[in-house]
Chain A
Amino acid sequence: MASAHKVGRTHPVPALATTYEGDDPALLERIVPLIDTIEISPDAIARSDAKQARLRPEILEEYQSVLPHVNLVAHGVGLSIGSFDHWDESYLRLLDGLFSRFDLDWHSEHLACTVVADENVGTMLPLPRTEEVLDLICERVQAIQKRYGVPFLLEHVIHLLPDMPGEFTPAGFLNALTSRTGCGLILDAYNLECDAHNQGLDICAFLDELDLAPVRELHLAGGVQHKGFYLDIHSQPTRDTTLAIGLDIIRRTPNLRVVTYEFLKEAVVLLGHDGICSELARIRQAIQQ
């Protein structure tokens, strides 16, 4: 059900996925008929007792209950693959637990740093686009690929702070990363829109330069504006402008498998079950055209 299927066009129509972080069986029941894949964030379904994070078994049961109808992918937040000293091993233990329970099509993380010297930064820091960082990330990507044996994807994050000095363009850095490691990419249409608005990123030029063959997944989301900045707090329906960027990406990418509508668990109250379902139907319709 989750695999992409041909509908008489150049590329297969991508499958539709969304976030589900548990504790809302009524929502799960509503969304499952509308989607092909659920995106699981291991960090978001874990509880930490005595400084040890564990996946919550009751949420794993929720996923188990819908397995005949959907596929699963993992999308982490806390690996901190770009920390100068080491990644967060506790995230990998959560991922181990998820892999031991389910067959995941792939897993992914943010190309970012969330922990510095064992201290949570409180935000996602983008990485400097330097050879030093490229070497560091490539080594870690290869270790992860070896550990799990399924495709590993990285997602670019929004840039709020001024960029650190670097030797690569944004697309050039991702091209070097994918060509050296064979890892896949997630493109986030809303993150690109944020970077265009906040930092002046030229999205067309970025996409023209980027090798799009490794892109397997596209993220769509709606965020908030604060003091003139676009923020990646996923709490809204996808704006028309974001969807247009997403559709352009779909047209350009030959190997795209999944389009994921992301929203925070905390935003379910704002969006409402009806709102989430409408959004999924809207995206499904858009990506099928």
Chain B
Amino acid sequence: MTQLERQQRGLLNLIKNRGLPPDDPYLRQVAGSRELTIVREIAVWWRAFQIEDQCYFTSRLLKRRECFDTIVTTYFNNNPTSPFIEELGRDFLNSLRDHDDCLIRAVSQFELALLQVRAGCTDCFEVHWDRHPDRVILALEEGSELPASETGCLYRMRIARDLPRLLVCTREYATQQE
């Protein structure tokens, strides 16, 4: 490994807050510097800015849940991030598909499906909601109170290019809550 490779890999790890403390004297100096904190903040700030632009509803929901900054920082640290905003937005939303919070799961996958369909994807996507999706979107849009989960109720939403207005949603009374 050349000196340049060692330094660049080391800086990547430091900026992304990964790996073990470095042995290299220069990297140790960087690791202890105030400037590294600034560089990290700017890098995450840009990703957050772009994600807010691309993932409007998901960002609003994550802010409501007071976890936006933490999730974006964790995402930046643990994943390669595309310099292309559309790709970053899609990858970020995709990373939330298994989130513990079912509303974050639903909103992010709804937004991801819409982005993909609008970009020309011909797949059909299905998103499950535990409360009325229109009311959720309206609440996020207006900043009003989010609707509560409807026990025993499942909203099955399909999103595809060939559907009228790109989506249909049906309400089902599920025996088992998702």
Instruction: Identify the A interface with B (CB < 8 A).
Output: 43, 46-49, 51, 53, 77-78, 83-85, 113-114, 116-123, 125, 128, 130, 132-133, 136, 160-162, 164-165, 198, 226-227, 229, 231, 233, 266
The answer to whether A162 and B35 touch (CB under 8 A), given A49-B119, A117-B9, is yes
Among B4, B15, B43, B81, chain A packs the most CB atoms within 10 A around the CB of B4
Q: Known A-B contacts: A116-B11, A117-B9, A229-B35. Give 10 more (CB < 8 A).
A: A51-B87, A116-B8, A120-B81, A121-B11, A121-B43, A122-B46, A123-B43, A125-B8, A128-B4, A130-B4
Q: Which A residues are in CB contact (< 8 Å) with B16?
A: 122
Contact A164 B84 (CB under 8 A): no
The residue that A122 contacts in the complex, of B3, B36, B76, B84, with Cβ under 8 A, is: B76
B29 interface contact, C-beta 8 A:
yes
CB-contacts of B1-31 with A (<8 A) = 2-5, 7-9, 11-12, 15-16, 26, 29-30
A121-B15 in contact given A47-B84, A160-B35, A165-B26 (Cβ < 8 Å)? yes
Q: Which of A119, A120, A198 has the most CB of B within 10 A?
A: A120
Q: Which B residues from 38 to 92 make CB contacts under 8 A with A?
A: 38-39, 41-44, 46-47, 49, 76, 80-84, 86-87
B33 within 8 A of A: yes
Are B39 and A123 closer than 8 Å at their CB atoms? yes
Q: How far is the CA of A132 from the CA of B82 in the complex (A)?
A: 28
Q: Are A119 and B84 in contact (CB under 8 A)?
A: no
Closest 5 CB pairs of A and B: A122-B43, A48-B84, A84-B5, A116-B12, A84-B4
Quote the shortest CB–CB distance from A267 to chain B (angstroms): 11
Does A119 lie within 8 Å of B12, measured CB to CB? yes
**A231 lies within 8 A of B81 (CB):** no
B89 CB to nearest A CB, Å? 11
Measured between beta carbons, the chain A residues less than 8 angstroms from B80 are 118-120
Q: How near does chain A come to B7, taking the closest CB pair, in angstroms? A: 6
| A122 proximity list for chain B (CB < 8 A) | 15-16, 43-44, 46-47, 76, 81
B residues in contact with A46, CB < 8 Å = 84
Chain A residues in 8 Å Cβ range of B38 = 160, 226-227, 229, 231
Tell me the interface secondary structure of chain A in the complex. Answer: mixed
Distance of B73 from chain A, by nearest CB (Å)? 11
Q: Which residues of chain A have C-beta atoms less than 8 A from B7's C-beta?
A: 128, 164
B42 touches A123 (CB 8 A): yes
Chain A positions within 8 Å of B36 at CB level:
161
Chain B residues lying within 8 Å of A85, measured Cβ to Cβ, are 5
Distance in angstroms from B83 CB to nearest chain A CB is 5
- Expressed in whole angstroms, the Cα–Cα distance for A229 and B35 within the complex equals 9
Across the interface, name the chain B residue whose C-beta is closest to A165.
B26
A136 proximity list for chain B (CB < 8 A): 4
| Contact (Cβ within 8 A) A162 B29 | yes
The chain B residue with its CB closest to the CB of A163 is B26
Contacts of B84 in A (CB 8 A): 43, 46-48, 53
A133 and B6 alpha carbons, distance in the complex (Å) = 13
What are 15 A-B pairs at a CB distance below 8 A?
A: A43-B83, A48-B87, A53-B84, A78-B83, A83-B8, A84-B2, A84-B4, A84-B5, A122-B81, A123-B43, A128-B3, A128-B4, A160-B39, A162-B30, A227-B38
Give the complex CA separation of A132 and B8 in angstroms. Answer: 14
Look across to chain A and name the residue whose beta carbon is closest to the beta carbon of B1: A84
